[in-house]
Amino acid sequence: MADAVRLGIVGCGGIAGAHLNGYEKLAAEGYDRFAITAVCDVNADGANAFADRIEKNLGTRPQVFATADEMVAAGAADAADICLPHAFHHTAGVTCLQGGVHIMVEKPVGITVKATRRIMEAAEGTDLVIAGAEQIRRCIGARAIEWAINDQKMFGDPLFFTQEVFSGAPFDRSSYKFAWRSLKVMGGGGQILDGGAHFTDMVQHVYGPVDEVMCTMRTIDETMIELPDMEPQPADIEDLWTATLIFESGVIGHWGWSNYAWGEKLSTRMHYGTEGSFSDRQEWQHPFQFGADLKLKDGTETPYEEIEAAYLAGLSEAEKSRLFPYGITEGITIECWDFIEAVADGRSPEIDAQEALQAKSLCFALYESAAAGGAPTKVADVRDGKIHAYQDPIDEYWNI
Ligand SMILES: NC(=O)c1ccc[n+]([C@@H]2O[C@H](COP(=O)([O-])OP(=O)(O)OC[C@H]3O[C@@H](n4cnc5c(N)ncnc54)[C@H](O)[C@@H]3O)[C@@H](O)[C@H]2O)c1
């Protein structure tokens, strides 16, 4: 354990608990390349509850801090797992990197493209790791279907997909975790940038970069939002959108969602190629997390279980231990392992900042298109900072 990576968890809320499950699972397998030495949360009760749990389950009590600044000033960690509301990813990220601390950042890396670039600039000229905490493409279902589509061409050449999920299922905006998600200045946007960040990562991972988008959105629920240190203000994020995505490869995607669609629920998650279709088993924003079923034009059907078995049978032992360490097939534990390995071995993480930025630039392009009345918008122009009208008020609010 002498050279174990000293890890700090920054933000001890919902997803940090899932990351901690992952670290505990790794420790239970005998993985000893990390020790959790610090936890940070402005909510002292939350941070102390994490410290208690880590002491009980991993054997050593971490130091408790309110913020990443305090943790870095105390020199309490070599690496930080940042699980904060989106508005604080770049502040905590830059503090860590400037203090020589490697980071893994929950999605989206930064609350805007400019915020993301601030984080990337802070690591320039160093060997510090910036890892994107993106678990969906590391799940066995996603890895297997990506292989089935791109390696095995199981449904021929990809042509188009449609994912539309409309239901009446509003969030409880009186809770902190949905309150900050209800304001652009705290979340950067609504579900396009939140759960949708997984969708934009996965569809580009499978089909390559998106060239252009057209998007229309609405804010239906304008409930007053109350957050510490902020004036009460109405929710202003999208809770309905419909979008067309045109990939550089020519693939066309349609993506729509609302949780204010009352009455009958609609849920379609279909991907089509020249020879057949994949029916995605999930209905959140996590393409292929639980695999997909294949149906070909001659009527042949292949359930996902058979595709997964064929995928695993074709992997060497070395590939299996890289893709599914300790036989773990769930993405969050794999991303935590990958981050520690990248820091310990001085290698690149599976998803670096540039790749994470590409996924989130698609989210921002959808917002920019909607802000321009649904105008066709090039993702590269948004990623390269040429189009930013939607993001400007957020950047101005935080002085980015
Ligand atoms: N990968 C996934 O599937 C997934 C799922 C949920 C959330 N997330 C991401 O995880 C991040 C956190 O989301 P969450 O659901 O855990 O939120 P949350 O509200 O449950 O937790 C955030 C925590 O950060 C603390 N906090 C706020 N400001 C702070 C500051 N300046 N310094 C220290 N602590 C601070 C809060 O007290 C809270 O405990 C977001 O980026 C979100 O998008 C990812």
Close Cβ partners of 2 (under 8 Å, ≥ 6 residues apart): none
pLDDT at 102 (0 to 100): 98
Residue type, 256: G
Residue 322 corresponds to which tokens in the numbers above? 């890289």
- Tell me, in angstroms, the distance from the centre of ligand 1 to residue 243's CA: 27
Query: Per-residue DSSP letters for 236-248?
Result: -S-SEEEEEEEET
Pairing of strands 233-234, 224-225: antiparallel
Region 137-326: CATH code: 3.30.360.10
Please list the alpha-helical segments (H only) found in the chain: 14-28, 44-58, 68-73, 89-98, 113-123, 140-146, 176-179, 184-187, 196-207, 304-313, 317-323, 331-345, 353-371, 379-383, 392-397
Our mutation pick for probing the ligand 1 site, out of 106, 116, 173, counting the most ligand atoms within 8 A of Cβ, is: 106
DSSP conformational letter for 75: T
Q: Do domains 5-135+330-349 and 137-326 have the same CATH topology?
A: no
Domain map of the chain by residue range?
5-135+330-349, 137-326
Q: What pLDDT, on the 0 to 100 scale, is given for residue 3?
A: 84
Does the reported pTM lie above 0.75? yes
Nearest atom, ligand 1, residue 180 CA: 19
What is the position in ligand 1's atom list of the atom closest to the CA of 16? 16
The tens digit of pLDDT for each residue in 222-270 reads: 999 999 999 999 999 999 999 999 999 999 999 999 999 999 999 999 9
Question: The domain 5-135+330-349: what is its CATH number?
Answer: 3.40.50.720
Q: Which residues of the chain have pLDDT under 50?
A: 1-2
For residue 145, how far is its CA from the centre of ligand 1 (angstroms)? 29
For residue 13, the CA-to-ligand 1 centroid distance in Å is 5
**Confidence (pLDDT) at 1:** 45
Q: Whose CA is nearest to atom 32 of ligand 1?
A: 67
